[in-house]
């Protein structure tokens, strides 16, 4: 897979008081974001589909990949570039059969064993986290912080690209990349920022700086 993943925005409208998801994505695209993932866990499928269509048009204009969280059907319906899957979703090979060989299929992992399994299943990239404590992902299970050590261990164990996710900001993004991540995925750092375009640029600069620290 040959796409840049330096800065990766995961949408979650519940974390933006000031703006709609469309406005956040528009600003992030203006700031040069590399990948957009439609997440929106709390939005009904019909709304998620309409939002996906809108984001598809915007990201296509900007030449930026759009990935849909969880829902292979919505990804197919809006001609998204791919999907992002986790433990609760369909397996990577099932999504691949639906989406075809060129689709970008990402997999959330939090351990080295999970990362190797995802690579074996031919995922295209990994979302590794939660790197730091975050309140953005509400689960029934206590969210555990895997830390930079696990990012480094995963980076050493697989050869597919990986983005760190969870509690990442412009202040710690360089450390995540220095530990071996190819980029950083964020919700709140961009979504809850006063200026999402500027926040995106700051993150990109931090990623660049992390790369020089390897």
Residues across the chain? 214
Smallest separation (angstroms) from Mg ion to the CB of 39: 9
116 classed as catalytic: no
Residue 168 binds to ligand TZP (criterion: CB under 6 A): yes
Q: Which are the contacts of 3, defined by CB distance < 8 A and separation ≥ 6?
A: 34, 35, 65, 104
188 is known to lie in a ligand binding site: yes
Q: Indicate which single residue of 6, 7, 8, 10 sits in contact with ligand TZP (rule: CB under 6 A).
A: 10
The CB-nearest residue to Mg ion is: 86
Residue 72 binds to ligand TZP (criterion: CB under 6 A): no
As to burial, measured by CB atoms within 10 angstroms (0-12 exposed, 13-18 middle, 19+ buried), residue 3 is middle
Beta bridge partners of 36: 9, 66
**177 and 4 in contact (C-beta within 8 Å)?**
no
Compute, in degrees rounded to 10, the torsion defined by CA atoms 147, 163, 87, 191.
Answer: 90
* CA atoms of 49 and 211, how far apart (whole Å): 36
Give the SS3 label for residue 92.
Answer: helix
Q: Indicate which single residue of 186, 199, 204, 207 sits in contact with ligand TZP (rule: CB under 6 A).
A: 186
Q: Which tokens belong to 115?
A: 């990362």
137 classed as catalytic: yes
Residues 129-148 that bind ligand TZP (CB under 6 A): 129-130, 134, 136-137
Residue 86 binds to Mg ion (criterion: CB under 5 A): yes
13 classed as catalytic: no
- Total of chain residues touching Mg ion, rule CB under 5 A: 3
Residues 16, 39, 71, 201: which is the catalytic one?
39
13 is known to lie in a ligand binding site: no
**170 and 206 in contact (C-beta within 8 Å)?**
yes
Give the SS3 label for residue 190.
Answer: helix
Q: Which tokens belong to 20?
A: 């709609």
Residues 14-53 that bind ligand TZP (CB under 6 A): none
Q: Which partner from the list ligand TZP, Mg ion, none does 105 bind, CB cut-off 5 to 8 Å by kind?
A: none
Residue 100 binds to Mg ion (criterion: CB under 5 A): no
- Annotate each residue in 86-125 with x if it binds ligand TZP (CB under 6 A) or - if it does not, as one string: ----------------------------------------
Residue 70 binds to Mg ion (criterion: CB under 5 A): yes
Binding-site entries for Mg(2+): 70, 89
Residues marked as catalytic: 39, 108, 137
């Amino acid at each position: 897979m040959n796409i840049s993943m330096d800065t990766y925005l995961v949408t979650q409208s519940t974390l933006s008081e000031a703006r709609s998801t469309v406005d956040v994505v528009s600003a992030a695209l203006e700031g040069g974001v590399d990948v957009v993932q439609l997440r929106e866990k709390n939005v009904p499928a019909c709304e998620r589909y309409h939002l996906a269509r809108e984001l598809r048009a915007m990201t296509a204009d900007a030449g930026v990949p759009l990935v849909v969280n969880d829902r292979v059907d919505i990804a197919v319906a809006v001609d998204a570039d791919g999907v992002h899957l986790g433990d609760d979703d369909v397996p990577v090979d099932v999504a691949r059969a639906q989406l075809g060989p060129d689709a970008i299929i990402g997999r959330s992992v939090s351990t080295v064993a999970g990362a190797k399994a995802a690579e074996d299943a031919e995922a295209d990239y990994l979302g590794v986290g939660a790197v730091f404590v975050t309140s953005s992902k509400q689960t029934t299970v206590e969210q555990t912080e895997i830390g930079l050590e696990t990012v480094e261990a995963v980076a050493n164990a697989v050869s597919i690209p990986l983005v760190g996710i969870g509690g990442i900001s412009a202040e710690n993004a360089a450390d995540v990349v220095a530990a071996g991540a190819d980029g950083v995925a964020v919700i709140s750092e961009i979504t809850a920022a006063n200026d999402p375009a500027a926040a995106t640029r700051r993150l990109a600069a931090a990623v660049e700086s992390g790369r020089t620290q390897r």
